[in-house]
Structure 1
Amino acid sequence: MTGGISRVSYSGMLLLGPGTLPLLALLALPLSWVQVGKLNGDVVVQCDTLEPHISWTLNGEQEPMAELVAEGQNLTILGLDLPATGNYSCWAGPVLLDTTYVVVSSTYEEEMDVTCQAESYHGSFHCSWPGPPSAVFRARLTHSDGSVGLWVPVAGGHGQFSVSLADPSFCPFGEELRPLRLHLEGLSDTSYLSLSRHFFLRDIVRPDPPQELTLRWQGEQLHLAWAPPASWQLPKSYFALLYHLQYELPNGTQVERFVEGVEETQVQVGAQRVRISCRDPYTPPAWSPWSPWQDLNAPQ
């Protein structure tokens, strides 16, 4: 192979797009090897055969528009560009001998906005990102103890992708000493993408909204009570939450209150409606989404 070219093991993933083999052919013939070349670089494709006389096709075309030089069992692509990507097949007459799928090493990785979020400290989280519409992705996680997880397929399409992952070695009661490492690989009909992101779970925690808002009288005082998100880590005494309440008075004035470590507070009599948010008080300020506005029909 020429400098800057690599073959990437990509078993079990399906290629999409006009330059690929038909889907049924991919299911019957796993495309385990993809050759990645640099844009405008030369790529040497090898035919795994001892046949002395072979011919080549690109995406089924016997006379591809790409600049190609055939010599023995090798085919050199001169100045790889996007139209020259695709399925290169070598033939002995009508007999298919070997197939290599050639793609360009993408420079899109740094532009990909990968967003990860955890609901609590269970060790699981969800990531999403935009990508090329024709791409398929897989993901792998290096855990907090340094072990490497298996590749998992990524859901999505039409330019939006997402995956849920978990670190089985994560301890919610211990200090995070090393970050998690998310590795993504993507393959489109023309390009190969590879990128990594490093982060601590504590930095991506964003709780779900609090739940079960209730209103009751205590003597002549009106009290609002609620429960932590169902997904939040227990016990509550250790995993406390900071709550942000916002309630609206009859004249339209909005009153805000912050309480920590408790799940009830006094509300001004006459409040019309209320909503509530929460966050971990000891991590970066990632507030949960607001709960829906709830009308307060004060009990008598």
Structure 2
Amino acid sequence: MYFLMFEVIVFLQFSAVGAIKTTGSYWTLKPNVIVVDVDVAQDMDMIQVPLICGEEFEGTNITWKKNQEELLEASGNQIIVTVEGWKGANYSCYNSEGSILNHTLVLAQWTFRKIIKNTPSKGYIHCSSNNYGGSFKCSWTWGANRDDQVAVVAHIKVMRSHSESQISCSLDPRGQSITCLDQHYCPYAEEVERINLTIYFRSSYVLETYYTEFYIRDIVRPDTVDISKINQTSVKLDYPNSWNTPYSYFPLIFQVKEIRCRKSKKCDCSKPNSHETYLTQNHQLSVTKRMTVCVRARDTFCNSPWSEWSHYKCNSRKDRKQRNQELKLNKMQKFIMH
């Protein structure tokens, strides 16, 4: 368990990523972690993997244990272990006094997709950003059989296609998303290279790899539009506070429709309806009495995702209550004056 916790701590401190070296049927994911590529077409795939305790321990009396329990017959600074199928393990080396010197975690990578779910609209990994500040968030859904104790994010590799980039990511406490920031991103310059993101998920001693690439401009999704009342027949639209300024350089376009909704709290603007939608960049809209206006926004120049819907009903119960209070106040003032 000590080594499992160690892997998580190492990941949380992770920032820049180097190249992954490949050798035969196994390769190094990061220090102290070796991945074996499993051929699922074979009933029993056996791969030999060389392990080394450390160059500084050459010539000393070294013993090895598998999963900190099973003592191996092989001894010495360098040994060879056989990995069968998807049966990885954690191999630890000890000195003659029984003190641990080092460890190597051996994981088996297969082509199955079981650790996280695939959703029809978002795929395995869904990435989004609410502005052009260089930050983005990527999320996923754990599979139904996920065990919180063994299924974790093992490693992240994120970079631009060719140029050197400084992108750092942090894992949320629940392990269901990462938040990343591209330190060199400039919102006023053309984005010429995609972000390449690879996430390695580990369940026990099995590893699954998921890859996606994107431009920030393709995943920008504004926060919800603010709608405020001007009078009984018009409303005002305001950009989200999180959106980039100046608005003249980062303009939004609004999609608008009106729906009938008896209770404003239960209005669902996303449902298909017979009412026509239209696009506008105007910040003031005319609305029909007893109708609810629905508004969402996206970048004017990119075919990026729409924001969530916002809705407003001018003659709502809240407005009627406010008008009744105003009438009562006026009557009281007249009574006092007389």
TM norm. shorter chain > 0.5: yes
Q: CA separation in 2, counterparts of 1:145 and 1:50?
A: 39
What CA deviation, in whole Å up to 9, does each residue of 1:56-81 have, x standing for no partner? 21112235xxxx76265433222434
1:124-203 to 2 correspondences below 5 Å? 124-130=135-141, 133=148, 134-143=151-160, 146-149=163-166, 151-157=168-174, 161-203=176-218
Worse overlay, 203-212 or 135-144 = 135-144
Distance 1:107 1:145, change over 3 A: closer
Q: CA separation in 1, counterparts of 2:168 and 2:30?
A: 12
Distance 1:216 1:97, change over 3 A: closer
Between structures 1 and 2, the one with greater helix share: 2
Q: CA separation in 2, counterparts of 1:233 and 1:144?
A: 25
| CA drift at 1:208 | 1.3
Name the SS for the 1:92 alignment partner.
Answer: coil
The letter of the residue matching 1:36 is V
Is 1:77 the counterpart of 2:77 in the alignment? no
Q: CA separation in 2, counterparts of 1:37 and 1:123?
A: 35
| CA drift at 1:283 | 1.8
Match of 2:111 among 107, 114, 128: 107
- Corresponding residue of 1:211: 226
Q: CA separation in 2, counterparts of 1:103 and 1:56?
A: 17
| CA drift at 1:198 | 1.9
- Which aligned segments of 4 or more residues in structure 1 are displaced greater than 6 angstroms? 109-112, 250-254
The letter of the residue matching 2:30 is S
- Corresponding residue of 1:34: 33
- Corresponding residue of 1:266: 286
The letter of the residue matching 2:106 is V
State the TM-score, normalizing by the size of structure 1: 0.72
Percent of aligned pairs with the same amino acid: 22
1:56-71 to 2 correspondences below 5 Å? 56-62=64-70, 70=74
What CA deviation, in whole Å up to 9, does each residue of 1:151-197 have, x standing for no partner? 5342254xx52112222333323322222222434455313455543
Q: CA separation in 2, counterparts of 1:137 and 1:53?
A: 32
Work out whether residues 108 and 193 of structure 1, in 8 Å CA contact, stay in contact via their aligned partners in 2. Answer: yes
Name the SS for the 1:202 alignment partner.
Answer: helix
Q: CA separation in 2, counterparts of 1:84 and 1:145?
A: 34
Work out whether residues 44 and 75 of structure 1, in 8 Å CA contact, stay in contact via their aligned partners in 2. Answer: yes
What is the aligned residue count? 267
Match of 1:284 among 293, 297, 303: 303
The letter of the residue matching 2:243 is W
Is 1:96 the counterpart of 2:104 in the alignment? no
Q: CA separation in 2, counterparts of 1:233 and 1:274?
A: 25
Worse overlay, 287-296 or 206-215 = 287-296
The letter of the residue matching 2:35 is V
1:210-229 to 2 correspondences below 5 Å? 210-216=225-231, 222-229=233-240
- Corresponding residue of 1:120: 131
- Corresponding residue of 2:50: 44
Name the SS for the 2:24 alignment partner.
Answer: coil
RMSD: 3.5
Work out whether residues 2 and 43 of structure 1, in 8 Å CA contact, stay in contact via their aligned partners in 2. Answer: no
Question: Is there any run of 5+ residues in structure 2 with no aligned partner, and where?
Answer: 1-21, 39-44, 264-272, 324-338
- Corresponding residue of 2:251: 240
Q: CA separation in 1, counterparts of 2:279 and 2:48?
A: 64
The letter of the residue matching 2:309 is W
Name the SS for the 2:138 alignment partner.
Answer: strand
Worse overlay, 204-213 or 37-46 = 37-46
| CA drift at 1:203 | 1.0
Question: Is there any run of 5+ residues in structure 1 with no aligned partner, and where?
Answer: 11-32
Q: CA separation in 1, counterparts of 2:78 and 2:106?
A: 14
What CA deviation, in whole Å up to 9, does each residue of 1:67-99 have, x standing for no partner? x76265433222434444223334536343442
Q: CA separation in 2, counterparts of 1:151 and 1:174?
A: 21
Q: CA separation in 1, counterparts of 2:84 and 2:126?
A: 32
What CA deviation, in whole Å up to 9, does each residue of 1:239-264 have, x standing for no partner? 22221223235899864442422111
Q: CA separation in 1, counterparts of 2:181 and 2:191?
A: 15
Q: CA separation in 1, counterparts of 2:302 and 2:241?
A: 20
